[in-house]
Structure 1
Amino acid sequence: MRAQSRPAAGPGRRLGPIVPASSVSGTTLVMVIAIMTYLAGLTVGGVDLVRATADDWARDIVRETTIQIRPAEGRDMDASVARVSEIARGTRGVSEVRPYSKAETARLLEPWLGSGLSFDDLPIPRLVVLKLSDATQFDAVAMQAKLEREAPGATLDDHRRFLDRLVAMARTIVWLGVGVLALMLAATVLSVVFATRGAMAGNRDIVQVLHFVGARDGYIAGQFQRRFLRLGLKGGCAGGAAAIATFLTAGLMADQGVGTAAVDQVDALFGRFEVGASAYAGVLSIVLIIAALTSITSRVTVYRTLRAMG
């Protein structure tokens, strides 16, 4: 039975660490952890950007609805647009009505059909966009029934189908991001396991001597745990700082490129590139989680290896 928890050192001597302060395996592990943390940070930022953009789209869609007027033989489109606009202005819950002219409607189709085309012979529907009030409830069913009675050919589109698809897409991306993070954390844990076993094998003689003089398993495991905790913090901080620097650089480049065709197209699809505070908090959380996993994994691995050594 072991009588002491830690081997005694001679007078005036300080017991050195079991695991060398610097080694090739330690440097390699720091690089692996830094890369994993960096990729995990980018994943957190990307998921946060998509989530924020989807929320913005959802808020805009909820506050807006569209009435579409289909052309038909003998139908006066201008008169139909005027009648639909009049009905919309008298509807509860509508704060603003904006009918699109024929030229404005044609411009909406230019990205797909190109410019310079004649739309006179094409059955292009006319649009009336309604801005909805936040204070008053809008009854879409009653509005559609009124349009069917008083404005034949006009249909109300509340964008519900698009909103459902948008929410489903955002949720899918979030879960994919969670899956990627889980895989990266698992890869980090495996890397720590192999690095700890390598360190144990490289210091096998020292560990056996410590056992012989009465060192407990907890003392030996604590030495490895502290060493790998420092490695995890070092690699995690490096990867996290690189991820945050990437966010800041991308935001700066987006601000400087405002007005260019590429940036305008990205803004039209995803909105303004802006990583929120939750993404930065997520990166910091990833750093702490990886450091904790590195520490706990090394301790568990040391205990299992010591039991196997007998």
Structure 2
Amino acid sequence: MTELDGEDVYEAPRAAEPAPTARARRNTTPIVPPQSIAGRALVFVIAIMTFLSCLTLGAVTLVRDTASVWENQIAREATIQIKPVEGVDMEASLEKAASIAGQFTGVRGVKIVDREATSRLLEPWLGSGLNIDELPVPRLVIVTIDEDNPPDFAGMRALLQPEVPGVSLDDHRTWVDRLVAMARTTVTLGLAVLVLMLSATVLTVVFATRGAMAGNGHIIEVLHYVGAEAMFIAREFRRHFLLIGMKGAVAGGAAAMAVFVLFWWWSSRNLATPQADQATALFGNFAIGVTGYVGAALVIVLIGVLTAATSHVTVMTYLKDIDVSHHDGL
């Protein structure tokens, strides 16, 4: 009874809140425990695999880009080398060789490497203050060529040899072929290592999924026998392992990208040091470019999707085995 404006009004008792149904409780309780020691270990393993995979992909991209730069630089030039011959004027031989090379179609320019430049080239091995006249040092003529319309090197070589004593022409074809072969071999090995790492990730997820199902086997079997569809159970596992896979993949991929950014920062800050000069000569500035970072992002997504797909297939196979065993037992 309540009093409203002087009148007694009867108030019906409120109905008690309905207890949550068994279905609601089941929906709020996942089949696979979201936090477990095995789950945290799997995140760590996937992070390591993703880190190594992204490093491999970045290294392959770096080698491929650097080899392409080397190939373009080498393909743009040819070298005429003249060895000292007793009684022959070296300067006249250089001028003669440059004149002959400049006559060929496809030659964009000819440059004689002078004495000072030759001394600087030999300085790292023979020291400073070198007098090249006292040593039988070959002299060079750099021939810049048109990559799209290269000159006739065979004809140039045939014309140079009788006219210039001690001359040899190097069109760098051997170096280019070796460089291309090395780059292709490196890329093939890198891709093979990447496939092996992805395979190891798949096997790890298979074992982790089977372990999770073994730990919750009685629950899964009861749900399956009372009518829970296989797709429902597989979806629960797929969601769980997709989350685990993406956590590990993002952590490992971010760490790999940070390594490349760190190397790029180090090379850009130490350009004047001998160590950085040697590293830059071999690998450029350690920048994997947009292609490398996009590739690393794709590896992250691939590992996450692969983790979810692997767990889905494993669960479906496990449930199919349960059905076969059940029918055989009847």
TM-score (structure 1 length as normaliser): 0.91
Q: 2: distance between equivalents of 1:190 and 1:141?
A: 57
1:248 corresponds, among 261, 267, 270, to 261
Alignment of 1:62-101 (within 5 A): 62-101=75-114
Instruction: Give the secondary-structure state (helix, strand or coil) at the position aligned to 1:149.
Output: helix
User: Residues 308, 263 of structure 1: CA spacing in aligned structure 2 closer, same or farther, 3 A cutoff?
Assistant: same
> Which range is displaced more, 240-249 or 179-188?
240-249
Which structure ranks higher in relative contact order (CA pairs < 8 Å, sequence separation ≥ 6)?
1
Q: 1: distance between equivalents of 2:247 and 2:290?
A: 23
List per-residue Cα deviations over 1:73-92 (Å, max 9, x = no partner). 21211110111112222322
Q: 2: distance between equivalents of 1:148 and 1:51?
A: 37
In structure 1, runs of 5+ residues without a counterpart are 1-8
Q: Counterpart of 1:171? A: 184
Q: 1: distance between equivalents of 2:45 and 2:284?
A: 34
Alignment of 1:176-187 (within 5 A): 176-187=189-200
Q: Counterpart of 2:303? A: 290
Q: 1: distance between equivalents of 2:57 and 2:309?
A: 23
> Which range is displaced more, 243-252 or 62-71?
243-252
Residue 252 of structure 1 and its aligned partner are, at CA, apart by 1.5
User: Residues 11, 199 of structure 1: CA spacing in aligned structure 2 closer, same or farther, 3 A cutoff?
Assistant: closer
Q: Counterpart of 2:6? A: none
TM-score (structure 2 length as normaliser): 0.86
Instruction: Give the secondary-structure state (helix, strand or coil) at the position aligned to 2:22.
Output: coil
Q: Counterpart of 1:200? A: 213
1:30 aligns with 2:43: yes
List per-residue Cα deviations over 1:266-298 (Å, max 9, x = no partner). 122333322111111110111111112111111
Q: 1: distance between equivalents of 2:188 and 2:126?
A: 36
Q: 2: distance between equivalents of 1:258 and 1:265?
A: 10
Instruction: Give the secondary-structure state (helix, strand or coil) at the position aligned to 1:20.
Output: coil
Identity of matched residues, %: 51
User: Residues 12, 283 of structure 1: CA spacing in aligned structure 2 closer, same or farther, 3 A cutoff?
Assistant: closer
Q: 2: distance between equivalents of 1:185 and 1:66?
A: 46
> Which range is displaced more, 222-231 or 145-154?
145-154
User: How large is the Cα RMSD of the aligned pairs?
Assistant: 1.8
Larger CA Rg, structure 1 vs 2: 2
1:21 corresponds, among 23, 31, 34, to 34
Residue 172 of structure 1 and its aligned partner are, at CA, apart by 1.0
Q: 2: distance between equivalents of 1:108 and 1:164?
A: 25
Q: Counterpart of 1:3? A: none
Alignment of 1:1-310 (within 5 A): 10=22, 13=25, 15=27, 16-115=29-128, 119-134=132-147, 136-309=149-322, 310=325
- What letter corresponds to residue 178 of structure 2 in structure 1? R
Residue 10 of structure 1 and its aligned partner are, at CA, apart by 3.3
Instruction: Give the secondary-structure state (helix, strand or coil) at the position aligned to 2:78.
Output: strand
Residue 150 of structure 1 and its aligned partner are, at CA, apart by 2.3
List per-residue Cα deviations over 1:148-190 (Å, max 9, x = no partner). 2322322210011111111111111101111110111111111
What is the number of residues matched between the two proteins? 302
Q: 2: distance between equivalents of 1:136 and 1:39?
A: 43
Instruction: Give the secondary-structure state (helix, strand or coil) at the position aligned to 2:136.
Output: coil
Instruction: Give the secondary-structure state (helix, strand or coil) at the position aligned to 1:72.
Output: coil
List per-residue Cα deviations over 1:175-210 (Å, max 9, x = no partner). 111111011111111110111011001111211210
User: Residues 33, 107 of structure 1: CA spacing in aligned structure 2 closer, same or farther, 3 A cutoff?
Assistant: same
Q: Counterpart of 2:11? A: none
Q: 1: distance between equivalents of 2:48 and 2:149?
A: 51
Q: 2: distance between equivalents of 1:173 and 1:68?
A: 32
- What letter corresponds to residue 286 of structure 1 in structure 2? V
Residue 303 of structure 1 and its aligned partner are, at CA, apart by 2.2
> Which range is displaced more, 262-271 or 202-211?
262-271
Q: 1: distance between equivalents of 2:109 and 2:85?
A: 27
